[in-house]
Structure 1
Amino acid sequence: MRAAGLPRETRLRRAGDFAALRHASGRFGGRCFSVRYRPNGLGHPRLGLAISKRVSKHAVERNRIKRLVRESFRRIRLELPAVDLMVMAREQTAGLPGPELLAELDGLWKKLRSVRLEATLKADDPAGTIVR
């Protein structure tokens, strides 16, 4: 039986990948999370996490947030475009219940799909003749 974890190729691991996202990327966010993204040309999305001690001084709480983000990404990753993602938690994330955080993450994934779709439409129609 195959493990249900997150495959190694779907994670950002190198410092250079994180640095590239910090310097040249699109971004959006919600109440609890901020997301940076950029196309990666690999054919699948990759996830990186940045959950600092500013969010919570307790490692247990930071690890809970990371597990929730990874699980949410694992469930939706096949529907996402081929981008590198860095998810950063905001200070108000700590202490919120899991279902509330998962609901916000679902909204962010939906926003990511629409942002990428709009960029694709603009590239396909440089004259701007497509009406939405």
Structure 2
Amino acid sequence: MTDRAPRAVFPPSSRIRTTGDFERAYNSGLRAGDAHLLIFASVNGTQRTRVGLSVSRKHGGAVQRNRKKRLLREAFRHCAGRLPAGLDLVLVPRQRPDSCLRDFCNSLPALARRLARRIPSQDDAPGTG
């Protein structure tokens, strides 16, 4: 029997799939960005972080768009353990031809942590104290 490294996977339970979930992230008002990535976020009420991808035609033809999506999925797989739990994240890459996996892997956790700090805690809710 061989020892294998733990698999970094992207199961269906880690994906945002419905239009409503995408709209909730877009309309929540939580967003952060840098030179490589823009992230929209919303609280999903679970302990799992889910991700959705939005790569428009402005990024080029199908080959270029699919490459960006592959890079974003791979960045999520690599960084999943460093992301705050309970968020739905919609990842929108910036239109930069030089963005690589390392850029997305650096941007994703930093931006997600920034968004998590902006979420009001239950203690800050009106009428709780």
Q: TM-score of the superposition, structure 2-length normalised?
A: 0.77
2 CA distance for matches of 1:36 and 1:84?
8
Q: List runs of 5+ in structure 2 lacking aligned partners.
A: none
| Residues 47 and 87, structure 1, Cα contact 8 Å, conserved in 2 | yes
| Residues 82 and 109, structure 2, Cα contact 8 Å, conserved in 1 | no
Q: Which runs of 4+ in 1 moved over 4 A?
A: 1-4, 122-126
| Alpha-carbon distance, 1:97 to partner | 5.1
Q: Does 1:98 align with 2:100?
A: yes
| Alpha-carbon distance, 1:39 to partner | 1.2
| Residues 30 and 108, structure 1, Cα contact 8 Å, conserved in 2 | no
| Residues 47 and 86, structure 1, Cα contact 8 Å, conserved in 2 | yes
2 CA distance for matches of 1:97 and 1:91?
9
| Residues 30 and 104, structure 1, Cα contact 8 Å, conserved in 2 | no
1 CA distance for matches of 2:95 and 2:113?
25
Greater Cα shift, 2-11 or 32-41:
2-11
Q: Does 1:84 align with 2:88?
A: yes
CA RMSD in angstroms comes to 2.5
2 CA distance for matches of 1:118 and 1:37?
10
Deviations 1:59-110 (A, max 9, x none): 1111111111111111111221210000112222xx32524xx324423312
In the other structure, the counterpart of 1:60 is 63
Deviations 1:8-32 (A, max 9, x none): 1000011111111121230011112
Q: List runs of 5+ in structure 1 lacking aligned partners.
A: 127-132
